[in-house]
Amino acid sequence: MIHIDIHKKLHGSNGNMNLDVNLTINEGDFLALAGQSGSGKTTLLRILAGLEISNGTLKIGDEIWQDEKFSLAPQKRGIGFVFQDYALFPNMTVEENLHFVNKDKALAKHLLELTELSSLKNRVPTTLSGGQKQRVSLCRALMNRPKILLMDEPLSALDPTMRTKLQNEISTLHKEFGTTTIMVSHDPSEIYRLASRVVVLNQGKIISDGTPKEVLLKTSGSQKFSFDGELLDIVKVDVIYVAIVAIGQQLVEVVVDDTQAKSLIIGDSVTISTKAFAPIILPHEK
């Protein structure tokens, strides 16, 4: 079991706030940490890694990493850290980046094979694509067989295809190494695919904790297909009214009746929902 009970005063962009996190995680779990920017997610990862000071206790299995009078040095904690911007050593080859952590050549070879990087082992990071750099960073984080793998939005800089590919590799590595993984992510599909548990932080406090489906499925009553948007216009066509709503990067149209057409105000935030039975799914042509 991993017991986290930490407190820290933060000076964020929205003024001061207290980070108060009390969390118990089963070993081997894949936990996603979600929440708006400035909610304390990255700070929590840095506290776990020993890169920031906080009050409280950190207990990993029977090892104490932090209590009132003691804090274990970052390099002594069994942590692997994957950053959004890769943070590779630019003057070292792929293989040297891995060996810097640990001289276990067999493990490095195995990791590079698993992530299809073997042929690139003598290249330096500047000659690699974003997806390749992040795979190197992931391999490097696993070189010391960490108890906890920490990932701070590891895939947010990558394109969707590369993201799916790396999600699969992360999932394989998480299972093979039996590590406990904590990943900061904003992407619902990534959280659903990878995590068994999601914790949502807001203003330094946990506001939601459950399975990805419990936390992320947006419902309204018995409506399971639900999106938030902005009402742009209502147009009368024949005897019906059509509302135009912006959802994300797209516009959608919804037929509304006359009473609703009269009560809705252009510019309002609205929720569009329908039952799970109505929508149809069309795969995109490849």
Partner 1 sequence: MSHIKAIITQIDTVDNLNIVKFDFYGYSLKMMSLGLTDDITVGKEVILGIKPTHIAIGKGFSGLVSYSNQIKAKIISCEKGKLLSSLKLSVEDVVLESIITLESTIAMDLKVDDDVTMMIKASELSILKVL
CB under 8 A, 24+ apart: contacts of 256-259: none
Task: List binders of partner 1 among 192-221 (CB under 8 A).
Answer: 219, 221
Nearer to partner 1, 70 or 277 (CB): 277
* Segments in the chain forming alpha helices (H): 41-49, 94-101, 105-114, 130-142, 160-177, 188-194, 212-216, 258-263
Q: Which range touches partner 1 (CB under 8 A), out of 47-55, 128-136, 222-230, 242-250?
A: 222-230
What does the alpha-carbon distance between residue 190 and residue 171 come to, in Å, rounded to a whole number? 11
Q: Taking a C-beta distance cutoff of 8 angstroms, is the pair 270, 230 a contact?
A: yes
The answer to whether 271 contacts partner 1 (rule: CB under 8 A) is no
The answer to whether 278 contacts partner 1 (rule: CB under 8 A) is yes
The answer to whether 223 contacts partner 1 (rule: CB under 8 A) is yes
Strand partners, 233: 244
Task: List binders of partner 1 among 80-119 (CB under 8 A).
Answer: none
Interface with partner 1 (CB under 8 A), residue total: 17
The answer to whether 70 contacts partner 1 (rule: CB under 8 A) is no
Nearer to partner 1, 53 or 240 (CB): 240
Nearer to partner 1, 238 or 285 (CB): 238
Nearer to partner 1, 53 or 252 (CB): 252
What does the alpha-carbon distance between residue 235 and residue 55 come to, in Å, rounded to a whole number? 58
Exposure class string for 65-94: b at 16+ Cβ within 10 A, else e: bbeeeebbeeeebbbbbbbbebebeeeebb
Per-residue x/- marks for partner 1, 224-263, CB under 8 A?
Answer: x-------------xxx--------------xxxx-x---
Residues that bind partner 1 (CB under 8 A): 219, 221-224, 238-240, 255-258, 260, 275-278
